[in-house]
Amino acid sequence: MPAWLHYLLSLEGLAVVLAIAYLLLAARESLWCWACALLSSVIYVWICWQAHLFMETWLNIFYAVMAVLGWQQWRSGGSDKPRRAIVVMSAWQHAGCLLLVLVLAVANGLLMQRYTSAAWPFVDSFITWSSVVTTLLVVRKVLENWLYWIVIDGIAIVVYWERGLYLTTVLFVAYVVIVLFGYLQWRREFRAAQPLTAPLAAPDCPVP
């Protein structure tokens, strides 16, 4: 069997396929995106632990939990098309989210640098906490979540390449492209809904 095919059929390969399926389905607002997210996250818990990306390990545990919550939040009586409307946030809410991520990332990075053998403690912490906040925005269907993912995925590309997870690196390159598609798709949906509905209240930023 060719080396590339063996790699593609590996555990990491399966996780990558499921992760891409999640994002494509999420862009189409399909409820089944959360099933793919759950399976992919469970696999990545093992992969990231083996790569000494400890915060990424906990992040994928969080993703698995959020996949269950996301399924519940998006459910629409047995249909795979969710009723939950797409919303937007104010500039102040975005600023609050960014400040929260930076504070948590620095604090977490300092702890990891001192007490663990984490490869990239501060970068790993930033990816983790920004992903946590952004995942909450996905569950609540905040339009701008896609823009957050562009930054997060761009940084993750460097980290995964450095740790030798090359297939996952390719996944995150694909993510950047798919995320742009997802943003444009959700923006069209949001704009199309405006004449038919009352103005949507922006959700609260997930801050303490």
Asked if residue 157 has pLDDT above 80, the reply is yes
pTM for the structure as a whole: 0.73
Per-residue pLDDT band at 73 (split at 50, 70, 90): confident
Residue 126 lies in a domain: yes
Residue 24 lies in a domain: yes
Residue 13 lies in a domain: yes
Per the structure block, which two tokens stand in for 182? 């997802």
Q: What is the mean pLDDT of residues 29-52?
A: 88
Q: What is the pLDDT of residue 206?
A: 47
Q: Under DSSP, is residue 52 helix (H, G, I), strand (E, B) or coil?
A: coil
Contact 45, 196 (CB under 8 A): no
Q: Under DSSP, is residue 86 helix (H, G, I), strand (E, B) or coil?
A: coil
Residue 43 lies in a domain: yes
Asked if residue 7 has pLDDT above 90, the reply is no
Q: Under DSSP, is residue 30 helix (H, G, I), strand (E, B) or coil?
A: coil
Residue 83 lies in a domain: no
Residue 202 lies in a domain: no
Residue 127 lies in a domain: yes
Residue 162 lies in a domain: yes
Per-residue pLDDT band at 33 (split at 50, 70, 90): very high
**Average pLDDT in the chain:** 82
Residues 6+ apart with CB under 8 A from 158: 123
**Cα-based distances in Å from 160 to 8, 157, 207:** 16, 6, 29
Contact 202, 90 (CB under 8 A): yes
DSSP class of residue 53?
A: -
pLDDT per residue as tens digits for the range 105-140: 999 999 988 887 776 788 888 988 999 999 899 888
Domain hosting 46: range is 3-77+89-196
Domain count, the chain: 1
